[in-house]
Amino acid sequence: MIVRISASAVPESSLNDYLAHVERNEIPHYEGASGLVSVWLLERRFVAYVEVMTISLWRSEEALNEFVEKRRVDLASSGDRGIQLEPWIYQLVMSRGSTLRDSDC
């Protein structure tokens, strides 16, 4: 399995519009991609910006590469959407689940 982490820094004043854009336009591309296992969207506030991070889990590097190539063409014409940070790609070595109790949430 392959993990891809990508992030953007967005002005705090634009966060709601940016998140709406991601939910409406980006996440459906992930969901429709062959080989996607799961995708998460996280945010972290700092100063006047918010880092919005997308973590995706893929069945193979080939599936990820196919997704990235298709998105590269689409994103070239999408306009300015914050400061795009360089994505990172990792090989998943181990994953463990846990059982949360109601009192843990």
Mean pLDDT confidence for 54-83: 79
Inform me whether the pLDDT recorded for 88 exceeds 60.
yes
Regarding predicted confidence, which is higher, 19 or 83?
Answer: 19
Residue 89 and residue 58: Cα distance in Å, rounded?
Answer: 10
- The span from the CA of 17 to the CA of 62, in Å, is 32
Give, for 54, the enclosing helix (H) or strand (E).
strand 49-58
For the stretch 20-48, pLDDT in tens is 988 998 899 999 999 999 999 999 999 99
The reported pLDDT for the residue numbered 75 is 52
In the chain, what are the domains? 2-93 (3.30.70.100)
pLDDT higher than 80, residue 12: yes
pTM: 0.80
In angstroms, the CA 51 to CA 82 distance is: 10
- Please list the residues that pair with 5 across neighbouring strands: 55, 88
User: Is residue 98's pLDDT more than 80?
Assistant: no
Which of 64, 88, 90, 82 is CA-nearest to residue 22? 82
